[in-house]
Structure 1
Amino acid sequence: MAAKRKRHSPEFKARVALEALKGMKTSQELAREYGVHPTQVAQWKGQLRDNAGELFQSGAAREAQKHQESELAQAYEQIGRLNMELTWLKKNAPPPES
């Protein structure tokens, strides 16, 4: 029987990732100390490095980004709907008269 997955809090992940970014210990040492896999330490470190800029975004910039993402999602949804309608019309349209 497989072991139950561990769920780590965001604070725990941040603490491990910050330790990894400091570079004072290897991933192996951190993994042993915190009881996680070395690959997980590397993933959390990468996530922190990639997303650190978002921590310092202003609220307005964050809201603008969320709004832009929601508009993009709506546009993709509409494109999908229109493609389905076009496909249906192509299948069910009467043949052109010659």
Structure 2
Amino acid sequence: MTKRKRYSAEFKAKVALKAIREELATAELAKKYHYIHPTMIGGWKRTAIENMAAAFGGPSSTVPQISEKGIES
């Protein structure tokens, strides 16, 4: 049984950005980066495009907002 390869977020972002820029065809990117499946690259590209608006939004909703009332002296 083969272990599944895990890729870092930075690597996925780098490959997805190259796919978005269309520097190379998806198949060429897959071959360049050690035969990552083209479908996987397409998924990373789709995810990057869908989440791109969050980078330009306001404060993240995952970070709790603390008011001065909540801080005790």
TM-score range, shorter chain: 0.7 to 0.9
Q: How many Å separate the matches in 1 of 2:4 and 2:45?
A: 20
| Residue correspondence of structure 1 range 2-81 to structure 2 within 5 A | 2-35=1-34, 36-59=36-59, 62-63=60-61, 66=62
The runs of 5 or more residues in structure 2 that have no matched partner are: 63-73
Calculate the TM-score normalised by the size of structure 1.
Answer: 0.59
Give the number of the structure with larger relative contact order, counting CA–CA contacts within 8 Å between residues 6 or more apart: 2
Taking only aligned residues, the RMSD between alpha carbons, in angstroms, comes to 1.5
- The alignment partner of 2:47 has SS state of helix
Aligned length: 62
Q: How many Å separate the matches in 1 of 2:4 and 2:57?
A: 33
C-alpha offsets along residues 12-42 of structure 1, whole Å, 9 cap, x if unaligned?
0000000000112101000111121110000
Q: How many Å separate the matches in 2 of 1:3 and 1:28?
A: 23
The structure with the largest helix share of the pair is: 1
Percent identity, aligned pairs only? Answer: 39
C-alpha offsets along residues 24-74 of structure 1, whole Å, 9 cap, x if unaligned?
210100011112111000000000111100011111xx32xx5xxxxxxxx
Ranges of 4+ aligned residues in structure 1 off by more than 6 Å: none
The runs of 5 or more residues in structure 1 that have no matched partner are: 67-98
- The alignment partner of 1:30 has SS state of helix
